[in-house]
Amino acid sequence: MVLRFLVLIIALFILILGSVYSANAQVQVDFFTNIEEVLGGNEFVAETDKVELIISSNSLRFGTPILMENVDKKSNVFGKTVDFPFNMKGNNVNYKFRVTLKGTVHNEDLQRVIKVAESASTDTLYFNTYIW
């Protein structure tokens, strides 16, 4: 009797612990863009220019631009890993890239879509270029 009660208590504890963990778990998605075309032969100046990721979703209140980082100093590829709540797994989110060069803001014309999934990553997409 005591053993059954102990097994029941341990099972409940594991169940509660698992639900708390999954509520706090996150799914990481990697975003990449190549800004070579928008540079038009100009040089990116890290102190004044920036590349941002703007995410929108019906489930979340994103919209605040997320600053992206140069993947390596030799390329025009920028990337950012974004943590989504675990309950977003399987949902689609819309996103756009925005580039500010010498004070001029360049927004992408269309929104892009990605499904939030473990190990999800965009290809290195050229800024404002789409393949149908």
Domain ranges (residues) in the chain? 26-126
Domain covering 26-126 in this structure, CATH number = 2.60.40.10
Task: Tell me if 101 sits within 8 A of 42, measured CB to CB.
Answer: yes
**H helix count then E strand count, the chain:** 2, 10
Residue type at position 98: R
Label residues 1-25 b or e (16+ Cβ within 10 Å = b): eeeeeeeeeeeeeeeeeeeeeeeee
Q: Could you give the CA distance from residue 53 to residue 65 in angstroms, rounded to a whole number?
A: 6
Q: What is the pLDDT of residues 16-25, one digit of tens each?
A: 545 444 456 8
Is 70 exceeded by the pLDDT of residue 39? yes
% of residues, the chain, pLDDT over 70: 76
3-state secondary structure of 126: strand
| Residue predicted with more confidence, 106 or 58 | 106
pLDDT at residue 7 above 80? Answer: no
Q: What is the DSSP letter of 112?
A: E
